[in-house]
Amino acid sequence: MDLLFKFYQEILALMNKRTSSLRGGGCGTFRMFPRTQENLKSDISDIENFINKFNHFVEIIFTKAAVAINSIQSQEIMIAIQWFVFQEEIIYKLNKNPLNIIKSYNLIVEGIKKLLQSCLIYIRTDSFKCLYILQLTTYLYKVIFSFHVINSETILKVDLQKEFLDTSDD
């Protein structure tokens, strides 16, 4: 287990230091760009900001689902959805750091539960919002998957699996 975790961390560290670029004609290059302390601090700041604001935007989407017909409420919901769409890169950065994955796992699971519950309403009232919310949950499921890859002795709890499946079936 520890060997696999260390191997995973080494691969992630190498991925953080490399970049590739494609040129026309299918030729590609691969160069090393060292990560600076400033870039790492910026990433940490972005991730902390995401974790701090996550519940706020999930709550907007969840609580305002029943009143989404109201145009003002609908605009607030779309702003919350846009915030998540703009956070896709931050979710990717969060996924590259095992400590952040472990730190945010429970928060993400609870957020997915609420987003799926709100989809039950949006699917009847606004399928466009429902589609976007399902995309958001897909981004967030990557964090759950990474958590279980890191912690190979843990599996997604059966009752949580059942809850996700039941909500999806509804």
**Does the residue 22 lie in any domain?**
no
How many domains in the chain? 1
**Does the residue 28 lie in any domain?**
no
Residue 164 and residue 126 in contact, taking contact as beta carbons nearer than 8 Å: no
pLDDT above 80 for 145: yes
pTM score, whole prediction: 0.67
103-119: per-residue pLDDT in tens? 888 889 899 989 988 98
Q: E strands along the chain, which residues?
A: 18-22, 28-32
**Does the residue 103 lie in any domain?**
yes
Q: How confident is the model at residue 24 (pLDDT cuts 50, 70, 90)?
A: low
**Does the residue 10 lie in any domain?**
no
Question: Which pair of tokens denotes residue 7?
Answer: 């191997």
**Does the residue 86 lie in any domain?**
yes
**Does the residue 66 lie in any domain?**
yes
**Does the residue 80 lie in any domain?**
yes
What range does the domain containing 55 cover? Answer: 49-169
How far CA 147 is from CA of 94, 119, 152, in Å, comes to: 11, 24, 8
Residue 9, number of CB atoms within 10 A of its CB: 14
**Does the residue 87 lie in any domain?**
yes
Query: Rounded CA gap, 97 and 76, in Å?
Result: 31
Query: Rounded CA gap, 63 and 7, in Å?
Result: 42
Reduce the DSSP state of residue 37 to 3 states and report it: helix
20 φ, ψ to 5°? -130, 155
Token pair 């003002």 in the structure block, residue: 72
